[in-house]
C-alpha cells in the first residue's frame, strides 16, 4: 500500500510538472510570436508612412508647390525603393497576422498605391483629389492600427469618442503673389 501511494504521488508530481512545463512553453511561444507580430506591424506602418512622405515630396515638386534639390528622377527612384520596402513589410504581415489584420493591410496598401500613382502622374486629379487620397490612406493606417491592437490583445482603441478623426496638417494658404518655392 505504501509503495502504491509513493508511486501515485510520483506520477501525480510528474504529470503536474509536465502540464505546467507545457503551459509555460506555450506561453513563451505565444509571447515570441506576439513580439514578431509587433515588429512586423511596426515595420509595415513605418514603410507605408515613409512611402507616403516620398510621394508627397514628388507630388509637391511635380505640381510646383515646393521645389526640391533632388531631381524628379531621384525622387522616383526613392519612391520605387520605398515601394519595394513597403512590399517586403507587407509580406511579413501576410506571414504573421490574423485575418482582420491582413485584410486591413490590403486596404491600406491599396490606398497607399493610389497616393503613389497620383504622385507619379500615373493617374490624374486635382489638389483636392490629392488631399482626399492622403486622408484616405491615413484613415486606413488607423484601421490597420485598430486591427493590429485587437490581434495583439492591446486594450483600448485608436478611434471613437476619445480619439476623434484628425484631418491632414496643411500649411496656411499662400497669399496672392507668393512664390511656390517659399
Q: pLDDT at position 114, please? A: 97
**What is the pLDDT averaged over residues 29-57?**
90
**Number of other residues whose CB lies within 10 A of the CB of residue 119:** 27
93-135 confidence digits (pLDDT tens):
999 999 999 999 999 999 999 999 999 999 999 999 999 999 9
Q: Can you give the pLDDT at residue 169? A: 67
Q: Who has greater pLDDT, 96 or 7?
A: 96
Average pLDDT over residues 28-44: 83
Tell me what pLDDT residue 181 has: 47
Query: CA nearest 55: which of 88, 47, 171, 179?
Result: 47
- The rounded mean pLDDT for the chain is 86
Greater confidence (59 vs 33) lies with 59
CA distance to 46, 95, 140, 141, 164, per residue, from 145 (Å): 12, 17, 8, 6, 15
Q: How confident is the model at residue 29 (pLDDT cuts 50, 70, 90)?
A: low
pLDDT at position 175: 46
pLDDT of residue 170: 66
pLDDT in tens, 60-105: 999 999 989 999 999 999 999 999 999 999 999 999 999 999 999 9
Q: Which residue has the higher pLDDT, 38 or 170?
A: 38
pTM: 0.74
**% of the chain residues with pLDDT over 90:** 63
Amino acid at each position: 500500500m505504501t509503495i502504491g501511494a509513493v508511486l501515485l504521488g510520483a506520477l501525480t508530481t510528474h504529470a503536474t510538472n509536465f502540464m505546467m512545463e507545457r503551459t509555460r512553453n506555450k506561453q513563451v511561444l505565444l509571447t515570441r510570436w506576439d513580439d514578431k507580430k509587433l515588429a512586423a506591424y511596426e515595420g509595415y506602418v513605418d514603410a507605408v508612412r515613409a512611402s507616403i512622405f516620398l510621394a508627397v515630396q514628388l507630388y509637391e515638386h511635380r505640381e510646383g508647390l515646393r521645389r526640391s534639390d533632388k531631381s524628379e528622377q531621384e525622387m522616383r527612384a526613392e519612391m520605387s525603393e520605398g515601394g519595394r520596402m513597403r512590399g517586403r513589410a507587407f509580406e511579413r504581415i501576410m506571414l504573421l497576422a490574423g485575418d482582420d489584420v491582413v485584410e486591413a493591410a490590403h486596404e491600406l496598401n491599396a490606398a497607399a498605391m493610389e497616393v503613389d500613382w497620383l504622385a507619379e502622374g500615373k493617374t490624374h486629379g486635382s489638389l483636392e483629389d490629392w488631399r482626399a487620397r492622403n486622408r484616405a490612406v491615413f484613415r486606413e493606417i488607423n484601421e490597420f492600427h485598430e486591427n493590429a491592437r485587437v490581434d495583439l490583445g492591446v486594450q483600448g482603441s485608436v478611434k471613437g469618442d476619445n480619439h476623434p478623426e484628425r484631418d491632414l496638417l496643411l500649411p496656411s494658404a499662400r497669399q496672392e503673389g507668393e512664390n511656390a518655392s517659399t
